[in-house]
Amino acid sequence: MIGRISRTTAALVVFVVSVFPVYWMVLTAFKPTRDIQSATPTFFPTSITFEHFGTAVAAKGFFSFWRNSLLVAGGAVLLALLVALLAAFAVARLRWKGRKAFVLMVFVAQMTPWEALLIPIYVIARDTGMLDTLWMLTLVYFMMTLPFTIVTLRGFLAAIPVDLEEAAQVDGCSRGEAFRKVVFPLLAPGLLATSLFGFITAWNEFAFANVLIIKNQDDRTLPVWLSSFQNTFGTDWGATMAASTLFMVPVLLIFVVLQGRVTTGIVGGAVKG
Amino acid sequence: MTLVAERPVRETAPAAPKRRRRPVLPYLLIAPTLLTTAYLLVYPLVRNVVISLQEFGLPQLVRGDAKFVGFANYVRVLNDPEFWGVVRRTLWFTAINVVLIMVLSTLVALLLVRLGRWLRFLVMGGLVLTWATPVIAATTVFQWLFQSRLGVVNWALVELGFEQYRDYTWFADGEATFGILVTLIVWQSVPFAALSLYAAMTTVPQELYEAARIDGAGAWRVFSTITFPMLRAMFGLITCLEVIWVVKAFVQIWVISQGGPGQATTTLPVYAFQVAQSLQRYDLGAAVSMLMVLLLVLALLAYFRQLYRQEQEA
């Protein structure tokens, strides 16, 4: 009995500690300014306002930062899917010399300490005139997500029995047709899951966006904009929290879409938000 | 009958001879990966090594006529007491974070195993929410939580009777900022580790626990003689990953404190970036980041060994 009560208490403590910061962010975003600034904070919504969301959306450049983030993350993911699908097919379906070495290379590439490459990539971007362009950022994010995309797609592909493809080929399909008509539909959920995880990585990335977009402030992405919230909102914490909440919404939606896959993904140890 | 009829069909399936006739295909398929990796990953890494061996400041960045100076940058960095201070701080920062992450995650995982269905769903949902929170959103919220005048943390501390925390400015004090960064990183890292450990714990056969319980073993004994030895590889794997992630942690520190106040929260990646970006000594920054890579490679080798062991056991 005592054991059960202490377990329940512990569970509630863990729940509150993990949820509270996010709860507080959303709550502050909806609170009227006088509640935010009152000496005793209110822990439950009493009256709700959309004023702060209005301030955040009306902030200069808000929509272009959204567009930039979407473009960069979306472009990176599409590129990665395309390139990774080819490589994953070669690894999962074909036998060739150097296959093991290639897989090892992908695993090593996945552990790249990108933080150590900030300086050379800045220098390379500057030398090639790619500084202050969203293209450079897209390429970097593409490379960040590529190894992980190959590894997961290879896993998904390996799970689809080769027999299906061979049966289609026996029935007169070419190899390309067999892939398109039989494997691809089965692979679609895997493609979706993989690309959404890649999207989150690119969506959240800050360090390179901060270094590669300097002069052209309109080309910044959301994380960089949000990190300098004091320049935009000063001490308007309501608007800051509203902007944070809006920034988090797509990520949260993706997690809801992937709910079943999330745990398998993390157990694979392949990603971290 | 059917078996006999099927066999010849298999043997003459068109896939097999095709593979032998066109061995080029796999290499064509991996070519885009190899080319992009060469340009976007290997080349920057090599360039970093090259820059670290050159005299490369702002003039060289503009004119592009950097001269090789051998290991002069490394000698200078390694003889700089400031660098060793940063290394000590990085190791200290990593140790505190990883120990806290592993202990808390193990406790949460053990708790999850013992919870009923609904509570377990609730806690796991909370953990996934934390895990899903973008780093930048989390850093912004933590700045708000620890805000001096209106922050809820100071309010709670004053309510609890710690009057000295009224309007306390956390981010003006080195140790306080260090503490907040540890809290932030631990808060963000526990969900991944706890959920992975929990998933691993569910694979331990129940009979082992029952047998131990019949023998009258207490909770600690069950953990130290069954759970931990069974999952040693998994614990090793997650510890390695956390070490790598904490050493590399840049965004949280840069956004919240830029390594300050003073040098109180400057770890290796932050230091490398400061030297390169603020002092415009790209050569020294590159050397520092190469030394960091060296440190990470050690952790990585341990990680790959654990990964190999894990695969052996699975």
- At B12 the three-state DSSP class reads coil
Residue B73: alpha-carbon gap to chain centroid? 28
Q: Specify the CATH number for the domain of residue A189.
A: 1.10.3720.10
> What secondary structure letter does DSSP report for A40?
S
Distance from CA of B184 to the nearest CA of A (A): 10
- Kindly state whether A116 is in contact with chain B, defined as any CB-CB distance less than 8 angstroms: yes
pLDDT of residue A194: 87
Residue B160 lies in a domain: yes
Residue B134 lies in a domain: yes
Contact residues, A window 75-104, toward B, CB-based 8 Å cutoff: 82-84, 86-87, 89-91, 94-96, 99, 102
Q: Cβ separation of A24 and B144 shorter than 8 Å?
A: yes
pLDDT at B39 over 90: yes
- At B189 the three-state DSSP class reads helix
Nearest to B36 among A143, A241, A266 (CB): A143
Are A20 and A121 members of one domain? no
pLDDT of residue A260: 60
Residue A182 lies in a domain: yes
Q: Are A91 and A154 within 8 A, CB to CB?
A: yes
Among A9, A29, A49, where does a domain finish? A49
Query: pLDDT class for A268, splitting at 50, 70, 90?
Result: very low
- Packing angle, helices A184-204 and A237-257, rounded to 10: 160
Distances B154 to A267, B113, B176, B220, B241 between C-alpha atoms, Å: 37, 35, 13, 36, 33
Query: pLDDT class for A270, splitting at 50, 70, 90?
Result: very low
Q: Cβ separation of A143 and B40 shorter than 8 Å?
A: yes
Interface size A-B, in CB pairs within 8 Å, comes to 255
Which residues lie below 8 Å from residue B127, measured CB to CB, with a gap of 6+? Answer: A14, A18, B108, B190, B191, B194, B195
Residue B198: alpha-carbon gap to chain centroid? 19
Rounded Cα distance between B101 and B154, Å, is 24
Residue B64 lies in a domain: no
Q: Cβ separation of B132 and A272 shorter than 8 Å?
A: no
Q: Cβ separation of A112 and B41 shorter than 8 Å?
A: yes
Q: Residue B134 corresponds to which tokens in the numbers above?
A: 């973008």
Residue A168 lies in a domain: yes
Residue A135 lies in a domain: yes
Rg of chain A, C-alpha, whole Å: 23
Q: Which of B179, B194, B199 is nearest to B252 (CA)?
A: B179
Q: Cβ separation of A113 and B292 shorter than 8 Å?
A: yes
Are A216 and A112 members of one domain? yes
Q: Residue B114 corresponds to which tokens in the numbers above?
A: 């013992």
pLDDT digits (tens, 9 = 90+) for B249-263: 999 999 999 888 888
Query: pLDDT class for B309, splitting at 50, 70, 90?
Result: confident
pLDDT digits (tens, 9 = 90+) for B59-107: 888 888 888 998 999 999 999 999 999 999 999 999 999 999 999 999 9
Which residues lie below 8 Å from residue A186, measured CB to CB, with a gap of 6+? Answer: A160, A164
pLDDT of residue A209: 93
Are A24 and A67 members of one domain? no
Mean pLDDT, residues A14-39: 92
pLDDT of residue B313: 65
Q: Cβ separation of B292 and A262 shorter than 8 Å?
A: no
pLDDT at A93 over 60: yes
Strand partners, B55: B67
Contact residues, B window 224-253, toward A, CB-based 8 Å cutoff: 237-238, 241, 244-245, 248, 250-251
Residue B172 lies in a domain: yes
Which residue's structure tokens are 């003039």?
A: B59
- Averaged pLDDT of chain B: 87
pTM: predicted TM-score of the whole model, two decimal places: 0.87
- Kindly state whether A199 is in contact with chain B, defined as any CB-CB distance less than 8 angstroms: no
pLDDT at B173 over 80: yes
Are A169 and A71 members of one domain? yes
pLDDT digits (tens, 9 = 90+) for A108-130: 898 888 989 999 999 999 999 88
pLDDT of residue B23: 81
Are A128 and A21 members of one domain? no
Distance from CA of A90 to the nearest CA of B (A): 5
pLDDT at A267 over 50: no
Comparing alpha-carbon positions, the chain A residue that sits nearest to B114 is: A7
Q: Cβ separation of A15 and B276 shorter than 8 Å?
A: no
- Averaged pLDDT of chain A: 87
The count of domains in chain B is: 1
Q: Are B248 and A113 within 8 A, CB to CB?
A: yes
Q: Specify the CATH number for the domain of residue B152.
A: 1.10.3720.10
Q: Residue B17 corresponds to which tokens in the numbers above?
A: 């001879």
Name the residue range of residue A185's domain. Answer: 60-267
Using a CB-CB cut-off of 8 Å, the residues of chain B touching A95 are: 19
Are A158 and A223 members of one domain? yes
Mean pLDDT, residues B228-246: 88
Nearest to B108 among A14, A112, A114 (CB): A14
Q: Which of A209, A224, A258 is nearest to A76 (CA)?
A: A209
Comparing A92-96, A231-235, B51-55, B110-114, the range with the smallest average pLDDT is A231-235
Name the residue range of residue B146's domain. Answer: 80-313
Comparing alpha-carbon positions, the chain A residue that sits nearest to B191 is: A18
Residue B305 lies in a domain: yes
Rounded Cα distance between B133 and B94, Å, is 22
pLDDT of residue B302: 81
Residue B109 lies in a domain: yes
Q: Cβ separation of B26 and A96 shorter than 8 Å?
A: yes
Q: Residue A41 corresponds to which tokens in the numbers above?
A: 């904070």
Residue B171 lies in a domain: yes
Q: Which of A123, A154, A135, A126 is nearest to A75 (CA)?
A: A135
Q: Cβ separation of A22 and B303 shorter than 8 Å?
A: no
Comparing alpha-carbon positions, the chain B residue that sits nearest to A167 is: B13
Are A117 and A195 members of one domain? yes
Residue A272 lies in a domain: no
